Chain A
Amino acid sequence: MSRLEAKKPSSCKSEPLTSERVRATLCVLKGILTSSYGPSGRLKQVHNGLGGCVCTTSHSSALLSNLPVTHPILKILTTSMQNHVSCFSDCGLFTAILCCNLIENLQRTGLTPTTVIKLNQQLLCLCTSYLKSESCGCRILVDFSRPQTLLCLVRSIVTSKPASMLTREETDHISALVLRAFLLTIPDNSKDRLILGKSIIVPLKGQRVLDSSVFPGILLEMSEVQLMKILPIKKSDAFKVALFCASLSGDLSDTGEGTVVVSSRVSLENAALEQLLNLGRQLVSDHVDLVMCQKVIHPSLKQFLHMHRVIAVDRIGVAVMEPLSKVTGTPPIGSLGSISPSSYGSVKDLCPAKFGFKHFLHLIPNEATICSLLLCSRNDTAWDELKLTCQTALHALQLTIKEPSVLLGGGCTETHLAAYIRHKICNEPESILKDDGCTQTELQLITEAFCSALESVAGSLEHDGGEVLTDMKYGHFWSTQAESPSVVNWPDLLSRCGCGLYNSQEELHWSFLKTTRHPFAPQTCLPHEATGSANNLTLDCFTAKLSGLQVAVETANLILDLSYIIEDKN
């Protein structure tokens, strides 16, 4: 019996954003996100008071999925960010913080939502077209002949996730591994369409991070006893592999909707087993060396195969099937009957491997785009974070191959973009004002709100109380050590800008990020040699960041557009 409860009436609230409570919660959320942002971001520990695992993270997807959010407005914001992260893996915090900043700043202008949204959209268009344009001063084209740029990208992603608890040496090691793993998934001879392979992350907890490594092919984990049974493996040039997706357990397949009448003296089990053994005989006569099955192999068949020195591995699971069929170069077999010789695949070598306390069977392919990334870490939470980090980095690399550009990281893109927009709006406001019924003042208010939202995202990279500045030539982002004297010679105090492209010894003028300054035209068109020579840049994934920018503005618009919240409280 279910308990009956009286229906509660739905609640309807108007102008949700003006409520003090919403503002306060939004502010708290922003505080959480801002403090986790960047390489020096603070970690968050998410746990349940009743017990269970503790999650230590600064990664947006882990953070947002674990945060209990109740207010509808915040729910929109967090789901929007989660969706973004599940699409692009990267730039989740950037998107979320920018969205919060935009809502806060635009709300403060006190203009009508219609105007705000219209102008916001226009400014977004300005941003995206600038970022995509040739003259963009914060975008670098990736030269695939020089892996340095890609390595910088990976390292920036790895360092921006402090919860993985990596030392400098470990960071370099992991970055190199990730890049190698990625390069292994690129096919050698691609025709018109590039189909990337897959890197499988294999967990190995309780080992040093520096023990992590990358192998071509697949590592199949199995118990020591199983592995002992298989050994010794006879040596040959190539191993012939039969990969089954059909069950080899001898159960009867679907018999249809009618009834099947079996006479008492007929034993279907025997019949099925007989069929399996026939299959086994065929496999042996075809000189198959390795039989793998997604489902269960009947013990008798296993025994039979073992007797004939054929290695049998079962219960592989559906997840590994696709990489396995790529490694062996053959689609899985679905038939128990006669198998055409073309259905057999092959691997180059087969060897047992032991890493830490785990035993693996290592399948080395002739030529395949599958590799295994063995990730080691000392404890569970750090491993989880490390895995997320590696996945993010691999995804970012994939996105970069599709769209071969990267953006300057370390807050420089944000400040540069803000400077560009300020300048553009100040000098040619007509381009935006021409078709809308908006005034110049309104445009200036919105621009100020938009740009300061962008700048304060960059500003949230600084957590240690240092000053944040921007230069007046490139519009890049600079930060100082904490507790520096108030009146100083800036070039001595600052060393490099956020992305590491420029150093302070040039003749530059700086200004505090929070103060108002005269709009200036930031230098566009990055000189090629500048990007080529510098090899320690901080970079961001172009596709992820661009989409993050768009999603942030669209979500902010959506939230600003809300005038009623109707909730069914049942």
Chain B
Amino acid sequence: MARMVVACVSSHLRKTGDGAKTFIIFLCHLLRGLHTITDKEQDSLISKNIQTHRRHWKNCCQWKFISQALLTFQTQILDYIMDHYLSKHFLSVFSSSTKERTLCRSSLELLLEAYFCGRVGRNNHSFISQLTCNYFFKSMACESGFEEVFDLVDDYFVELNVGVTGLPVSDSRIVAGLVLHRDFSVYCPADGDIRIVIVTETIQPLFSTSGSEFILNSEAQFHTSQFWIMEKTKAIMKHLQSQNVKLLLSSVKQPDLVIYYAGLNGISVVECLSPEEVSLIQRIIGLSPFVLAQASAQYEICNTALVKFCKPLILRSKRYVHLGLISTCSFIPHCIVLCGPVQGLVEQHEDALHGAFKMLRQLFKDLDLNYMIRTSDQNHTSSPPTYKTSRESNPLPEIVSGLIQRPYQGTVVKNKGKLAKTQTYLKVYSNLVVPNVELETCIPYSTPKVTPTDTYQTDETLRCLPPTKTRIIDDSEPFIESNSANSIAENTGIEISYENLQVTKMARKGSMLPVREKSLEMCTSQSYCCSTLPAGCVLPVGGNFEILLHYYLLNHARKCQQSEETIVSMIIANALLGVPKILYKSKKGKYSFPQIYVRTLHALQTSQPMVSSQTGLESVAGKYQLLTSVLQCLTKILTIDLVINIKRQPQEMYDQDSEEEV
């Protein structure tokens, strides 16, 4: 069982790079909460004379029941609450002054500082977080391309950092360019125009290739073939030289002959590159490997790229290849040299850095929230025909114009006097129009979407706003306003969908399809919502997320009629508090947990801004992921009723849990 939990944790960690400890704490509290509840029910429901065996089965059924309730909670209530209540508290890492999304350096620093706090020793954490921040800003080519940078750094993290033991941590630094973890086979100092090629096979032709046969009939033939091989190699290297190629990167070991001729022609050679290194270089400079067949012809080699420099780099008497690649993507290559007195410490820092990039990668992705709301509204039955008429009567351009007008009004009302900004909204909307039209024409069944009631129209346009708005201004204030407006309008319960505006058309269609099917099945008694948490949402550290969610979940539970939903919400809400409880355990007086808790709740009830005692930020997307991962793990645990140990082959030295479901 524990092994399964560990597997869940590590898969979560692989994805987000954060929150392993919180995972365990939270899961533990959830299980405890469940235990107390089942115990209570058992006492009241099951009479004493029932056999223990039967009680066990009964118990299992109950657990299974709970696990289903959890699943529905996760898919419906959680997203709903995230979208409606929590989102108004979110801050963003983007600075709000400009129209463009620009990363705010200070908030990124706060975020990283908080992240490294628990991962790197006390004396180093601020240094490491500064290093990461610098690295990030140095390797970012332009403001817009940071998603690509994160993807790349996360994927190729091993290739982008060099660990050096025996030096103090403070000697760690960032070097411009790419450092390959090996030495030159031949190094010919060169400056000026340096071109490189990548090869994936040996340049020297061999006697025979696989699947073929080479028949030697005479000694003379042997001589001539060897002579031919030599001449050919020579010719290729000469050709490369004539094309101004000064560096040959090879993923395989090249024969001595090639090395020799490379040296004669002033070409440096780096051999035995790993496939990852090759693909990283290819991604950075967009260079495809050089095919030998082309070389025989006398035309120019097109697969070459220019580098700024290429020189050996000596770190602690070990030599590395240092390349100044000229990037063609939004990532400007930089490498981190991590120093530390012991290997273990260097590895710890490497892992922490990798985790940080994973976390940032998650943070800068939009998070899709899908949920449905049950309503008792009777309008639905009549909505399909209404839609039909509306669709026929309102030609598409009109809808479009409506869409353009509505936000105008809406924003004027909401953000009094922000006329200048609405102007930009309009611009964005004109971009939006096309995909929206596409969307509506291709999904005829998602009926109530364009129901021509005025409130819905505004509602929809409003709901379309937040993501754009955050992209443009990213001020949390208007965001809150429009959102709270949304939650009021929500009660009307018409199916409203809007999509992440940056997703392509295809993705849109794909994600809309299940919505359509479901709504047919369920006879539109439920309404679906898709919404997006904009990229870059953060909250202050110190259990803020947990307390907020706790508060709203309790509120929600109070409103709910169904008992199971209430129970599940209560359990989760209480378990959530476990995390801040532990965080504030060592604090005394004003900063002890009850004090903080009461203060925050008070602030929430009177809708004052919350005061946080700590600086530092954490990613909302990460927290959300964590919550869903824990719930999934919990449902997995609850559906298991029996653990059977089986002995495998003794060589394997371990026995494996088999998981069987009833």
The interface residues of chain B lying within 8 Å CB-to-CB of A275 are 223, 226
How many Å lie between the Cα of A274 and that of B223 in the bound state?
Answer: 9
* Nearest-CB residue, chain A, relative to B231: A337
How many Å lie between the Cα of A287 and that of B462 in the bound state?
Answer: 90
Q: Which of A1-53 contact B (CB under 8 A)?
A: 2, 4, 7
The interface residues of chain B lying within 8 Å CB-to-CB of A259 are 208, 213-214
Contact B167 A87 (CB under 8 A): yes
A489 at the interface (CB under 8 A from B): no
Expressed in whole angstroms, the minimum distance between the Cβ of B226 and any Cβ of chain A is 7
1/0 per residue, CB under 8 A from A, across B341-354: the answer is 11111000000000
Contact A87 B256 (CB under 8 A): no
How many Å lie between the Cα of A256 and that of B208 in the bound state?
Answer: 5
B413 at the interface (CB under 8 A from A): no
Contact B214 A334 (CB under 8 A): no
1/0 per residue, CB under 8 A from A, across B20-62: the answer is 0000000000000000000000000000000000000000000
B169 at the interface (CB under 8 A from A): yes
Contact A4 B650 (CB under 8 A): yes
A83 contacts which of B165, B211, B223 (Cβ < 8 Å)? B165
Contact B123 A83 (CB under 8 A): no
The interface residues of chain B lying within 8 Å CB-to-CB of A76 are 342, 344
How many Å lie between the Cα of A258 and that of B205 in the bound state?
Answer: 13
Contact B209 A258 (CB under 8 A): yes
Expressed in whole angstroms, the minimum distance between the Cβ of B318 and any Cβ of chain A is 10
How many Å lie between the Cα of A309 and that of B343 in the bound state?
Answer: 54
A258 contacts which of B207, B218, B261 (Cβ < 8 Å)? B207
Contact A340 B264 (CB under 8 A): yes
Contact B341 A256 (CB under 8 A): no
The interface residues of chain B lying within 8 Å CB-to-CB of A334 are 255-261
A558 at the interface (CB under 8 A from B): yes
Expressed in whole angstroms, the minimum distance between the Cβ of A151 and any Cβ of chain B is 25
Contact A271 B208 (CB under 8 A): no
Interface residues on B, range: 35 or more
Q: Which of B459-504 contact A (CB under 8 A)?
A: none
How many Å lie between the Cα of A372 and that of B168 in the bound state?
Answer: 33
Q: Which of B183-227 contact A (CB under 8 A)?
A: 186, 206-219, 222-223, 226-227
The interface residues of chain A lying within 8 Å CB-to-CB of B168 are 547, 550-551, 554
Q: Which of A521-557 contact B (CB under 8 A)?
A: 547, 550-551, 554-555, 557
Q: Which of B211-249 contact A (CB under 8 A)?
A: 211-219, 222-223, 226-227, 230
Q: Which of A460-506 contact B (CB under 8 A)?
A: none
Chain B interface, >50% SS class: mixed
Known contacts A87-B167, A258-B210, A337-B227; A266 and B216 CB within 8 A of each other: yes
B588 at the interface (CB under 8 A from A): no
1/0 per residue, CB under 8 A from A, across B320-344: the answer is 0000000000000000000011111
The interface residues of chain A lying within 8 Å CB-to-CB of B255 are 253-254, 334
Known contacts A258-B214, A275-B226; A555 and B260 CB within 8 A of each other: no
Contact B215 A246 (CB under 8 A): no
The interface residues of chain B lying within 8 Å CB-to-CB of A340 are 264
Among B169, B317, B341, the most chain A Cβ lie within 10 Å of the Cβ of B341
* Nearest-CB residue, chain A, relative to B345: A558
B213 contacts which of A2, A4, A261 (Cβ < 8 Å)? A261
The interface residues of chain A lying within 8 Å CB-to-CB of B316 are 86-87
1/0 per residue, CB under 8 A from B, across A82-105: the answer is 011111100000000000000000
Expressed in whole angstroms, the minimum distance between the Cβ of B636 and any Cβ of chain A is 25
A256 contacts which of B122, B170, B207, B223 (Cβ < 8 Å)? B207
B444 at the interface (CB under 8 A from A): no
The interface residues of chain B lying within 8 Å CB-to-CB of A558 are 121, 341-342, 345
The interface residues of chain B lying within 8 Å CB-to-CB of A268 are 216, 219, 222
A358 at the interface (CB under 8 A from B): no
Contact B218 A80 (CB under 8 A): no
Contact A87 B208 (CB under 8 A): no
* Nearest-CB residue, chain B, relative to A122: B123
Interface residues on A, range: 35 or more
How many Å lie between the Cα of A343 and that of B259 in the bound state?
Answer: 13
Known contacts A86-B166, A331-B186, A340-B264; A257 and B210 CB within 8 A of each other: yes
Expressed in whole angstroms, the minimum distance between the Cβ of B162 and any Cβ of chain A is 14
Q: Which of B114-129 contact A (CB under 8 A)?
A: 121-123
A255 at the interface (CB under 8 A from B): yes
Contact A266 B218 (CB under 8 A): yes
* Nearest-CB residue, chain A, relative to B205: A256
The interface residues of chain A lying within 8 Å CB-to-CB of B226 are 275, 337
Q: Which of A100-131 contact B (CB under 8 A)?
A: 113-114, 117-118, 120-121
Contact A263 B208 (CB under 8 A): no
How many Å lie between the Cα of A557 and that of B206 in the bound state?
Answer: 57
Contact A342 B264 (CB under 8 A): yes
Expressed in whole angstroms, the minimum distance between the Cβ of A297 and any Cβ of chain B is 15
Contact A84 B345 (CB under 8 A): no
The interface residues of chain B lying within 8 Å CB-to-CB of A117 are 121-123
The interface residues of chain A lying within 8 Å CB-to-CB of B210 are 256-258
A260 contacts which of B122, B123, B216, B317 (Cβ < 8 Å)? B216
Expressed in whole angstroms, the minimum distance between the Cβ of B198 and any Cβ of chain A is 21
* Nearest-CB residue, chain A, relative to B220: A271
Contact A257 B209 (CB under 8 A): yes
The interface residues of chain B lying within 8 Å CB-to-CB of A261 are 213-216
The interface residues of chain A lying within 8 Å CB-to-CB of B216 are 260-263, 266, 268
B19 at the interface (CB under 8 A from A): no
How many Å lie between the Cα of A7 and that of B256 in the bound state?
Answer: 50
How many Å lie between the Cα of A87 and that of B413 in the bound state?
Answer: 68
Contact A271 B169 (CB under 8 A): no
The interface residues of chain B lying within 8 Å CB-to-CB of A258 are 207-214
Known contacts A263-B215, A266-B217; A79 and B343 CB within 8 A of each other: yes
Known contacts A254-B206, A257-B210, A342-B264; A551 and B341 CB within 8 A of each other: yes
* Nearest-CB residue, chain B, relative to A268: B222
How many Å lie between the Cα of A547 and that of B256 in the bound state?
Answer: 41
Known contacts A258-B209, A258-B212; A266 and B342 CB within 8 A of each other: no
B209 contacts which of A2, A120, A256, A337 (Cβ < 8 Å)? A256
B653 at the interface (CB under 8 A from A): yes
1/0 per residue, CB under 8 A from B, across A261-298: the answer is 11100111011001100000000000000000000000
* Nearest-CB residue, chain B, relative to A332: B260
A64 at the interface (CB under 8 A from B): no
1/0 per residue, CB under 8 A from B, across A222-259: the answer is 00000000000000000000000110000001111111
Expressed in whole angstroms, the minimum distance between the Cβ of B117 and any Cβ of chain A is 12
B341 contacts which of A80, A253, A561 (Cβ < 8 Å)? A80
Q: Which of B73-123 contact A (CB under 8 A)?
A: 121-123
Among B186, B343, B344, the most chain A Cβ lie within 10 Å of the Cβ of B344
A426 at the interface (CB under 8 A from B): no
Contact B167 A547 (CB under 8 A): yes
B263 at the interface (CB under 8 A from A): yes
Expressed in whole angstroms, the minimum distance between the Cβ of B170 and any Cβ of chain A is 7
A335 at the interface (CB under 8 A from B): yes
Expressed in whole angstroms, the minimum distance between the Cβ of A200 and any Cβ of chain B is 16
How many Å lie between the Cα of A268 and that of B186 in the bound state?
Answer: 31
Expressed in whole angstroms, the minimum distance between the Cβ of B621 and any Cβ of chain A is 30
Apart from A7-B653, A334-B258, A554-B170: 19 A-B pairs, beta carbons within 8 A: A4-B650, A4-B653, A80-B342, A83-B342, A85-B166, A121-B123, A254-B255, A258-B210, A259-B213, A260-B207, A260-B213, A266-B218, A268-B216, A274-B223, A334-B260, A335-B256, A343-B260, A554-B168, A554-B169
Residues of B within 8 A of A (CB): 121-123, 165-171, 186, 206-219, 222-223, 226-227, 230, 255-261, 263-264, 316-317, 340-345, 650-651, 653-654
The 4 closest A-B pairs by CB, nearest first: A334-B260, A258-B208, A256-B206, A83-B166
Residues of A within 8 A of B (CB): 2, 4, 7, 76, 79-80, 83-88, 113-114, 117-118, 120-121, 245-246, 253-263, 266-268, 270-271, 274-275, 331-335, 337-338, 340, 342-343, 547, 550-551, 554-555, 557-558, 561
| Selected A-B contacts with CB under 8 Å, 5 pairs | A85-B166, A117-B121, A118-B123, A246-B257, A554-B170
